[in-house]
């Protein structure tokens, strides 16, 4: 079995993807080291913001997050999915992110905080539920999946937040296992 791991985007801080995975999978952090995996991993890095594979177009956009972060968009067969995790919009939703998400069928956007929590977590690199919904609404996204839940939010809290969010936008859900 072969697993291809691709990282795209100009100005990436991580220059050697394989070394990055090796460090993350050291025995003190992870029970299986990279060399012990049954699958062979190919680490691919390209310094471009667009890539075509057969009929699919893959694009990336640099996001605001300490240490760097990129959002990914895949368009194929007239369908599109955008993944924007580890993104902080600062004081207002970023117009370039809205355009990147324009008319997506599915947007997976992080939503770690409430608006009140966001006020005390500036610089952490994360967004609020309201910001995720605003991106989806302004971009004309068909379905919003909010993810990257705060570990201090229990299931009851998340269920309540999801209902509140769905009153504003019935085409959104919170990601679940």
Residue 152 to residues 74, 89, 156: CA-CA distances in angstroms? 32, 21, 11
77 and 43 in a common domain: no
Determine the pLDDT at residue 10: 84
89 and 11 in a common domain: no
User: How far, in Å, CA of 117 to CA of 121, rounded?
Assistant: 6
44 and 93 in a common domain: no
38 and 117 in a common domain: no
Q: What is the mean pLDDT of the chain?
A: 94
Residue 34: exposed, middle, or buried by beta-carbon count in 10 A (0-12, 13-18, 19+)?
Answer: middle
Determine the pLDDT at residue 27: 92
Determine the pLDDT at residue 177: 82
User: How far, in Å, CA of 153 to CA of 128, rounded?
Assistant: 13
Determine the pLDDT at residue 68: 86
Residue 29 in this model has a pLDDT that exceeds 80: yes
Q: What is the CATH number of the domain that holds 132?
A: 3.60.15.10
81-140 pLDDT per residue, tens: 999 999 999 889 999 999 999 999 999 999 999 999 999 999 999 999 999 999 999 999
* Tally of CB atoms within 10 A around 67: 8
Residue 13 in this model has a pLDDT that exceeds 90: no
Domain count of the fold of the chain: 2
| Percent of the chain clearing pLDDT 90 (strictly above) | 84
- Do 60 and 8 meet the contact criterion of CB atoms below 8 Å apart? yes
Residue 63 in this model has a pLDDT that exceeds 90: yes
Determine the pLDDT at residue 16: 87
Residue matched to tokens 């370039």: 96
- Do 128 and 115 meet the contact criterion of CB atoms below 8 Å apart? yes
Structural domain of residue 6, as residue ranges? 1-48
């Amino acid at each position: 079995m072969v697993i291809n791991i691709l990282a795209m985007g100009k100005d990436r801080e991580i220059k050697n993807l394989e070394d990055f995975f090796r460090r993350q999978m050291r025995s003190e952090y992870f029970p299986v080291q990279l060399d012990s995996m049954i699958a062979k991993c190919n680490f691919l890095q390209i310094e471009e913001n667009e890539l075509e594979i057969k009929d699919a177009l893959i694009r990336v956009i640099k996001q605001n997050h300490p240490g760097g972060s990129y959002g990914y968009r895949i368009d194929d067969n007239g369908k599109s999915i955008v993944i924007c995790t580890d993104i902080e919009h600062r004081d207002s939703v970023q117009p370039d992110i809205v355009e990147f998400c324009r008319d997506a069928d599915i947007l997976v956007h992080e939503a770690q905080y409430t608006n009140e929590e966001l006020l005390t977590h500036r610089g952490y690199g994360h967004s609020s539920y309201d910001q995720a919904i605003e991106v989806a609404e302004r971009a004309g996204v068909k379905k919003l999946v909010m993810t990257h839940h705060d570990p201090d939010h229990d299931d009851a809290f998340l269920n309540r937040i999801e209902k509140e969010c769905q009153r504003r936008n019935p085409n959104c859900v919170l990601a679940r296992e």
